[in-house]
Structure 1
């Protein structure tokens, strides 16, 4: 389909979904999730459910929730979340959109004062949303009170035309996500009632007097974004599962080279090089899934604490969600591309399902926080933890190993490749890697301060080291979640054993991939790295004959997988041919371009002959 056809199809499916919601047919547990999985499209109203409604729930006062939630949940209005601007994204304090309070009319006047202040990229803004939660600078009594949230109606509920002062539209074709109308929003003197500012924490009275929110409310306002990042981690696992399912199934069907006379060509999956590409990704898909479960559990626990007024764990939740979002999306995106390459030339065809999967998913590395910035946010949390120099008992479990009194080991105890079958050995190596990388980053920061640089310049000078430390910390958390999950699972011995193999494979691949970091302070040596490599090669053989059942266990239906190469029945080549026959360009045996261009060329050539 063209991009326009894709958008039309997405809206049609989205409306069908809303009609089913209203009819009460999706009330059963998980029914909505199953339906969306079966539809498998980018819903234009996705942001409405994901961010618009939860923001009103979390940031609106009781009167506002009574006014807005019923009509929002019933889809009588369709909302979006307008934060990112043409000139500003992750740096929220730099946003330029202005909401100026006018006490004479008890209204806020919304303005996009510069070209770069117009909202740019919000999903659903282009042609779907009727209302927007607009993130803007509050100006009252001539004072800038910083960033606040406002509900702005942007389109008529009668004919869907933009309201006066509103200029809105689609930002144009993108790399992927054709079913979502990412758009722009420019406002000129748009007036909204005073109670359209979300006022659970901060308030503006009728005369324009501003009441500051509690000091911790700033942190709570990020709760919706943290929730979305937790969902992204889980979505990363599902997406990588799709890619690795396609690549492994095809690698069993595809044969390459007759290695011995009289024997059939070898299945591509029997080659060690193919196993080395794909099996760590298979392990990663499971690892990220368990990390997603951990992230969701952490979010639930901390939000329950917040509801009781306890905010101690909020910084940990924010740092963990930011870091895991970056680590998992980076791993997943590079994994999809490696799966495509592993499918050879056919992987380049849209029939494989991999190009579109990559195009749609790659945006996850920049939306809801650009990945480098996310790693730096995690790094800042680690930096603060280390600077406090607190004992292990006083730190959250995620960072307790960075405590001043945590035991530091000088050398790895590994003396045999089989020692790497113990996840505890792997986890200890990953801990020491983080501890050393944090020490390197701290040392570079401290040396910069010693030369007379201020804290901002010193942080910038050490920022690459800090991102490396943050990535290593997240790698450790994912491995830990994998190990803890399979240890706690009630499964048969065979399933437990293969899960443990995958866990060790995931850990070993990281050691080989980042071997320099594991050897940085002498904790591991070159002989032990070679042992790790030998053990990884051994585990590749262990996974070989479990690989297809392991991807089948993801239970992704062919209609959702949408791949001629990854079909459950393995009938790849016939479906590749049938897919090609259905291509719009093949509807005629002689293409229109023949009459327009080729015929004059060829007829002229023929006359000369």
Structure 2
């Protein structure tokens, strides 16, 4: 009987797919970017689904310690399969996405490595990146402190240059200067890019990055002067509890001078602070990269939630039966559609705007290398604004999808509670959303104020240069098109 019921459910989804008024395969290609990308994604998904080591159905029943061990085991097995099957970088990246990666993997590749690439000299990159690529060292990104998050300039950790030893002394002078939250710090990382106030010759030169070894490479124990650990459980039964977010304090820890990231500035052997010829604006390239990745992740998270809600709505039947006939699919109710379909559309919108941000990152990086800063302000505004909008909308949408699945959505087995718990921190990390939106507002106001001086805005803000014309325009359009919608948006 159960098998017949399952078959009926499968047929129901098949009937819905067959009724599509668009080319499903063509839509897959549009979503993935190419037929090749579709094929690779499908192959990696089947590889993960067929391997029992990658099972996920027991995640919410594991203790936090066992959950952390489970994610480590999966990461090691994923690396083994990547080597055994000689997977390409594209295939390996997709495989890691489908597997429950421990937090240290995300932060190692997503923050530690890019920081060295963006702020390290060629010599530093040659020394540290090969070690990071081979996982001979595991890195994290230690910026946020217990007392300071978004206000980076308020960080309290100090790095004082000592000319007698030709090195820096890293120190946590207060409780609030403790590094707090970095993923991978609590258990896994051997090294960190630590952000601290550079002090030399008695002068404070502000925040700079330093590569600091935290643990022994032999027995993984903390090095002298380094106090660190895990900050404990987080929201959700599975979710971020597989992440070893940590706390870190330094008690006069000494590092060599060449472990200051010196691409943009350096301290000489004599203790003199010197700016390099490389423009500081290059730092924005890393910021754009990280935030465009967050927008892309918003689309992935939202699409998963919407997929669950759409499938549930197609299977679930309730009310509407007449003369003992079948009840109505929940998906056919207008109220369900009005709540669900805009979320589906948003998933596609976020997917495509993520592609555009990826292009913007490439364009801005090339221009920065050529010392062209004309699009830097726009890149900052777009990445800050879209990070805030997409993450807030996605967090709200996942919760709405849970409600659209009724009581079943509250079950861990639905996948929605853990998806929400995993995703919602995105509204806070890499810039609190309210703070980011205020930054965007400031840039827009600055752009408007410069119009009278004759300075014309560029890129996505170019329409502001036509503000006088737009303010006097009246709309006589009776049928909407893409260009008309864009014009109305600009005029509003």
Query: How high is the TM-score relative to the length of structure 1?
Result: 0.68
Q: Secondary structure at the match of 1:311?
A: coil
Partner of 1:425: 484
Judge conservation of contact 1:391–1:404 (CA < 8 Å) in 2.
Answer: no
Partner of 1:211: 274
| Structural mapping, 1:568-579, within 5 Å | none
Evaluate the alpha carbon distance shift between residue 205 and residue 19 of structure 1 in structure 2; reply closer, same or farther with a 3 A threshold.
farther
Aligned partners of 1:263 and 1:23: how far apart in 2?
Answer: 55
Aligned partners of 1:162 and 1:251: how far apart in 2?
Answer: 51
Partner of 2:422: 360
Partner of 1:341: 403
Alignment counterpart, residue 162 of structure 2, candidates 102, 112, 122 = 102
Q: Secondary structure at the match of 2:488?
A: helix
Judge conservation of contact 1:11–1:44 (CA < 8 Å) in 2.
Answer: no
| Structural mapping, 1:505-516, within 5 Å | none
The reply on whether 1:73 has 2:73 as its aligned counterpart is no
Alignment counterpart, residue 460 of structure 2, candidates 375, 391, 398 = 398
Q: Secondary structure at the match of 2:355?
A: helix
Evaluate the alpha carbon distance shift between residue 382 and residue 24 of structure 1 in structure 2; reply closer, same or farther with a 3 A threshold.
farther
The reply on whether 1:320 has 2:379 as its aligned counterpart is no
Partner of 1:177: 240
Evaluate the alpha carbon distance shift between residue 398 and residue 391 of structure 1 in structure 2; reply closer, same or farther with a 3 A threshold.
farther
Q: Which deviations, in whole Å up to 9, do the C-alpha atoms of 1:63-113 show, x marking residues without a partner?
A: 211211111111110011100000100111111010000000011000010
Shift of 1:25: 1.9
Partner of 1:247: 309
**Residue segments in structure 1 that go unaligned for 5+ positions in a row:** 434-609
The reply on whether 1:143 has 2:203 as its aligned counterpart is yes
| Structural mapping, 1:226-245, within 5 Å | 226-245=288-307
Shift of 1:213: 4.5
Aligned partners of 1:351 and 1:157: how far apart in 2?
Answer: 39
Alignment counterpart, residue 34 of structure 1, candidates 94, 100, 104 = 94
Partner of 1:518: none
Judge conservation of contact 2:72–2:102 (CA < 8 Å) in 1.
Answer: no
Q: Which deviations, in whole Å up to 9, do the C-alpha atoms of 1:145-190 show, x marking residues without a partner?
A: 0110000000000000000000000110011312211101100000
Judge conservation of contact 1:132–1:151 (CA < 8 Å) in 2.
Answer: yes
Alignment counterpart, residue 195 of structure 1, candidates 241, 258, 270 = 258
Partner of 1:3: 64
The reply on whether 1:84 has 2:140 as its aligned counterpart is no
Aligned partners of 2:477 and 2:268: how far apart in 1?
Answer: 71
**Residue segments in structure 2 that go unaligned for 5+ positions in a row:** 1-61
Aligned partners of 2:219 and 2:89: how far apart in 1?
Answer: 36
Judge conservation of contact 2:282–2:369 (CA < 8 Å) in 1.
Answer: no
Shift of 1:47: 0.8
Judge conservation of contact 1:390–1:403 (CA < 8 Å) in 2.
Answer: no
Shift of 1:411: 6.6
Aligned partners of 1:412 and 1:184: how far apart in 2?
Answer: 58
Evaluate the alpha carbon distance shift between residue 245 and residue 390 of structure 1 in structure 2; reply closer, same or farther with a 3 A threshold.
farther
Aligned partners of 2:360 and 2:414: how far apart in 1?
Answer: 36
Judge conservation of contact 2:111–2:141 (CA < 8 Å) in 1.
Answer: yes
| Structural mapping, 1:173-572, within 5 Å | 173-175=233-235, 176-213=239-276, 216-217=279-280, 219-389=281-451, 394-403=456-465, 407-409=469-471, 413=475, 419-420=479-480, 422-433=481-492
Shift of 1:308: 2.0
Q: Which deviations, in whole Å up to 9, do the C-alpha atoms of 1:171-225 show, x marking residues without a partner?
A: 10011312211101100000000000011110101111111355941x3223222
Q: Secondary structure at the match of 2:254?
A: strand
Judge conservation of contact 1:7–1:179 (CA < 8 Å) in 2.
Answer: yes
The reply on whether 1:45 has 2:109 as its aligned counterpart is no
Judge conservation of contact 2:306–2:401 (CA < 8 Å) in 1.
Answer: yes
Judge conservation of contact 1:392–1:400 (CA < 8 Å) in 2.
Answer: no
- Report the number of matched residues: 428
Aligned partners of 2:207 and 2:442: how far apart in 1?
Answer: 22
Q: Which deviations, in whole Å up to 9, do the C-alpha atoms of 1:133-154 show, x marking residues without a partner?
A: 0000000000000110000000
Partner of 1:563: none
Aligned partners of 1:40 and 1:283: how far apart in 2?
Answer: 27
Shift of 1:405: 5.2
Judge conservation of contact 1:392–1:403 (CA < 8 Å) in 2.
Answer: no
Judge conservation of contact 2:157–2:196 (CA < 8 Å) in 1.
Answer: yes
Judge conservation of contact 2:299–2:347 (CA < 8 Å) in 1.
Answer: yes
Judge conservation of contact 2:209–2:260 (CA < 8 Å) in 1.
Answer: yes
Shift of 1:29: 4.9
Shift of 1:299: 0.5
Relative to structure 2, which stretch is displaced further, 314-323 or 382-391?
382-391
Aligned partners of 2:246 and 2:287: how far apart in 1?
Answer: 20
Q: Secondary structure at the match of 1:329?
A: helix
- Stretches (4+) displaced over 6 A: 390-393
Q: Which protein shows a greater Rg?
A: 1
Shift of 1:296: 0.5
Q: Which deviations, in whole Å up to 9, do the C-alpha atoms of 1:375-409 show, x marking residues without a partner?
A: 11212221221111169994222101122556215
Shift of 1:425: 2.7
Pairwise CA RMSD? 2.0
Q: Which deviations, in whole Å up to 9, do the C-alpha atoms of 1:47-67 show, x marking residues without a partner?
A: 111111111111111221121
Partner of 1:154: 214
The reply on whether 1:56 has 2:119 as its aligned counterpart is no
